[in-house]
């Protein structure tokens, strides 16, 4: 049995990624129980704070995706209550969760990231969509990748291969947020690198290669079994795999993250990796990438989650 007497897994929430969060929370709870940890799973509702005040947990594992789970809000509440938790601080979450800001930070640390433009809805409307979008195509070229500046699970994201497709992609993206990030599309191998730190410094797990049947790693491809082929470890040369690992660890450090993160990147045909975004609450479902990386590294997921909770409890 674990020395952790009372662990809380937070799952659910009210973001667009609620169902994914519930699945992540269920998986984390299952592997922790298998590792001998007493676990309680709770949603973020009006009963949460009174419950934690009445019976403070030794540590909290946050499996909330999008919104309050990754923008620092729920972690601010946990700090207000002096409840220790796994993962990045509120300030670090706020920086990492905003994709244009995260890209600017990692670029200042020397990492490659695709050229991009972020465009708020107000600017899109006020300056005239047609003229602005035409200039974006002139500047970045085609194809483009369009996605919300915040949020995950590829909701609202799409590849734009012609100028005529861009307006519809923008409108679809605005359904998930008020600012759109438009990136130059980089063709190559899509890779995710998870980083864990159990107290001895951040270490990259083996990169996971993502090959969606449709060619686009969208919501369905992420969370529907059989829609995407994964290779863990990725089919990269040792040199390219090492470069990806170094990029993920550098991004983790540059953004001030702790405990666990996942960096998504593209390796182009020359073997050059490009930073796309980072996730401070990586998915933990049956089709999620961090569990695959842990298995490829020969790490038991339950022991890994337990170790992160024990570290958080000691920190608290």
Identify the active-site residue in 223, 259, 261, 288.
223
| Tens digit of each residue's pLDDT (9 = 90 or more) over 52-84 | 999 999 999 999 988 778 899 999 999 999 999
Mean pLDDT of 157-181: 91
User: Is 277 known to be catalytic?
Assistant: yes
Computed over its alpha carbons, how large is the radius of gyration of the chain? 19
β-bridge pairing 7-10 and 59-62: parallel
Annotation marks residue 82 as catalytic: no
As a whole number of angstroms, the distance between CA 238 and CA 29 comes to 35
pLDDT of the residue at 128: 65
Residue from 70, 71, 98, 264 carrying the catalytic annotation: 264
Query: Token match 């390219």: residue?
Result: 240
| Choice among 262, 288, 307, 310 that is catalytic | 262
Measure the CA–CA gap between 281 and 10, rounded to whole angstroms.
Answer: 11
pLDDT in tens, 178-220: 999 999 999 999 999 999 999 999 999 999 999 988 666 766 6
Is 70 exceeded by the pLDDT of residue 221?
no
75 is catalytic: no
Q: What is the pLDDT of residue 66?
A: 81
Active-site pick, 17, 209, 218, 259: 17
Q: Is 153 a catalytic residue?
A: yes
**Active site annotation includes 85:** no
pTM, two decimals, is 0.93
Which residue in 25, 177, 283, 302 is the catalytic one?
A: 283
E-strand ranges in the chain read 7-10, 39-42, 59-62, 116-120, 144-148, 158-160, 179-184, 189-196, 203-204, 208-212, 228-231, 260-267, 273-279
The angle subtended at Cα 228 by Cα 224 and Cα 234, nearest 5°, is: 135
pLDDT at 57: 97
pLDDT on residue 153? 59
Q: Which of 67, 277, 288, 307 is catalytic?
A: 277
Catalytic, out of 153, 194, 261, 288? 153
Active site residue 112: no
Among residues 279, 288, 302, 307, which one is catalytic?
279
Q: What are phi and psi of 29, to 5 degrees?
A: -60, -40
Identify the band that residue 1 occupies on the pLDDT scale cut at 50, 70 and 90.
very low
Known catalytic residue at 17: yes
Mean of pLDDT over the chain? 92
Residue labelled with tokens 């909770």: 309
Select from 131, 20, 116, 15 the least CA-distant residue to 74. 15
Residues in the chain, how many? 316
């Amino acid at each position: 049995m674990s020395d952790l007497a009372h662990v809380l897994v937070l799952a659910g929430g009210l973001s667009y990624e609620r169902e994914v969060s519930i699945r992540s929370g269920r998986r984390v709870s299952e592997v922790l129980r298998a590792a001998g940890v007493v676990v309680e799973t709770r949603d973020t509702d009006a009963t949460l704070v009174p419950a934690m005040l009445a019976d403070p947990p030794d540590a909290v594992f946050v499996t909330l995706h999008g919104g309050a789970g990754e923008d620092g809000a729920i972690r601010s509440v946990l700090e207000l209550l002096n409840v220790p938790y796994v993962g990045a601080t509120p300030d670090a979450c706020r920086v990492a969760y905003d994709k244009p800001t995260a890209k600017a930070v990692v670029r200042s640390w020397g990492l490659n990231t695709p050229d991009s433009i972020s465009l708020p809805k107000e600017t899109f409307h006020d300056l005239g969509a047609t003229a602005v979008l035409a200039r974006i195509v002139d500047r970045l070229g085609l194809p483009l990748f369009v996605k919300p500046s915040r949020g995950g699970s590829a909701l609202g994201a799409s590849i734009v291969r012609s100028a005529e497709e861009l307006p519809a992609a923008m409108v679809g993206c605005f359904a998930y947020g008020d600012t759109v990030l438009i990136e130059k599309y980089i063709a190559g191998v899509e890779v995710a690198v998870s980083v864990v730190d159990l107290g001895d410094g951040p270490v990259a797990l083996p990169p996971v290669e993502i090959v969606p049947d449709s060619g686009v790693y969208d919501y369905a491809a992420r969370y529907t079994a059989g829609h995407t082929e994964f290779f863990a470890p990725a089919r990269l040369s040792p040199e390219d795999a090492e470069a990806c690992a170094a990029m993920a660890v550098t991004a983790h450090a540059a953004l001030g993250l702790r405990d666990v993160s996942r960096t998504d990147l593209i390796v182009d045909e020359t073997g050059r990796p490009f930073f796309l975004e980072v996730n401070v609450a990586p998915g933990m479902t049956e089709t999620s990438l961090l569990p695959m990386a842990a298995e490829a590294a020969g790490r038991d997921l339950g022991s890994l989650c337990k170790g992160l909770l024990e570290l958080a409890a000691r920190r608290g």
